[in-house]
Each structure stands twice: as C-alpha cells, then as structure tokens.
Structure 1
C-alpha cells in the first residue's frame, strides 16, 4: 500500500485553515466538486475525478492541529484510505502536511492522484489567503458542533 504526502506553508491563522478543512463552505472553496454533510460526522465529496462520491468519516480531530478522515464508502480506489491533515506553526503561518494512506493503485494512477492532491492544496492555500470570511450559514455547521 502507498501513501501520498504533500506539505505546503500557508500564511494564514490556524483558525482560517481549520475553517477551510472543517466546514462545508470551507471545503467547497477548494474541493473541485460538491461537498455535503453525510450524517453527524461524515463528509460526502464528489468530483469528475471520482468514479462515485466518497464518504469521509471524521475519526479524530484536535482543533487547529490535526484532523483524520477515513473513507468509509464510495469510489473503490478511495475506500478504506485514511486522510491525515497536520498543522504546525511556521515562521509565517502554518505548515500543512497531508498524508493520504493505504492506496492500492498502480504507479500511473497513483501519480495522477498525487497531482490532484497537489492541485487541491494549492487551491486551499489560495483560498486561505483571501481576507473574506466565509458566509455565515446556519445549515453549514461543522460536523463537530
């Protein structure tokens, strides 16, 4: 099994980055597809890159520090993979490390997925740098509230 690993630095407060990872509107700002809440502790993400939408269950979180999702349903390539986000203080902003573990893909397919994650992280950084707050929406509560 393989692990995809990405690391970038985002010059933004931890609370802004956390908001982009834990709210539907935040996720929607950088995920290329649709995002919805699937139960009290799961996200449902779809995109043109996926054979079918994936359901990611929050299995662990420490606000502003780490977040772990397990793919419990959906695209066969994603099922039972683990996505771990880690935030660490940097000289300016935070270093974000993404580990997407337990892939069972061919080298070519793994390379393509690695590129997609790189593009998502670049979009995440861009969205975090926007000074605009995400709109307040009572239907868009973090799955942890």
Structure 2
C-alpha cells in the first residue's frame, strides 16, 4: 500500500490545531465550508465539494491536542478504505503536524493529484490556525 505524507510547522498551539481538525467550524474554515461533523469517535463526518461530490469519513480516533484519525467510507473509489491521520507534536514555535493518507493501492494520477491537493489544504489549515482565515474549497488553489 502507498501513503501520502506531509510535515509542516504551524505557529499555533496543539490545542488550536486540534480544534481546527476536529470541530465543524474548524474543518469548514480550511477544507470545505460544506462540512457536517461532530467531534465524536465513531461518528461520520461529511465533506461536500460542490453539488456533485462529497466524502464521508468515520472518525476513528480523537486524542485532544495530539491526534485525529479518519477512515474514508464514501467518496472516490480509490479513497474508500484509506485512512487519514493528523498527528500533532509541540514544536519550538507552536505545533509540528505529521499528516498521512494511508492505504492507496497504487501510484495513480488520482494519487498524485490528491497529494498536491492535500499540500494546498494543509497550507489552508496553517493559515486558519495562524491568522484566523483559511483558504477552503473552492479557494484553495
């Protein structure tokens, strides 16, 4: 199985980054405004990207200020069954985020596009945490 990995530093506390990754308001501010999510393990979060496409993630792990993990249950076929993990560690100037999107069957054009898009969305997450304003869909490019 293949993985997409990113690491970035965010000038905000792990608690601030965790809230942006676990609360509906935070997720709406950096990924897509059309987010329905509850910070509860076992719940299903829905992320819509326009009228014709959405993803659903099962929240599999929530560890305050340290880890958020999702299992994709609906979306593009090559996403279903993949896991997305955000691991947070305190850093010298805030938080170090280790991001993984695991379970890709192969290196495909979709894999490459997704890796690029995740980098843009993680930049949006950093902007939200550092300035209070992210660049969620459709403004992330």
| Normalised TM-score (structure 2) | 0.83
Residue 52 of structure 1 corresponds to: 53
- For the pair 1:21 / 2:14, whether they are aligned, the reply is no
Q: Which runs of 4+ in 1 moved over 4 A?
A: none
For structure 2, the 5+ residue unaligned runs are 134-141
Deviation for aligned residue 1:77: 2.0
Deviation for aligned residue 1:34: 1.7
SS at match of 2:124: helix
SS at match of 2:15: helix
Verify the 8 A CA contact 1:15 1:64 in the aligned structure 2: yes
Residue 139 of structure 1 corresponds to: none
SS at match of 2:25: helix
| Normalised TM-score (structure 1) | 0.81
**Partner Cα separation in structure 1 for residue 78 and residue 34 of structure 2:** 18
- For the pair 1:104 / 2:114, whether they are aligned, the reply is no
For structure 1, the 5+ residue unaligned runs are 133-145
**Partner Cα separation in structure 2 for residue 125 and residue 46 of structure 1:** 21
- Per-residue deviation, residues 34-67 of structure 1 (Å, max 9, x unmatched): 21138x612101225xx73111111112110011
- Provide closer, same or farther for how the CA distance between residues 80 and 13 of structure 1 changes in structure 2, counting only shifts above 3 A: same
SS at match of 2:65: coil
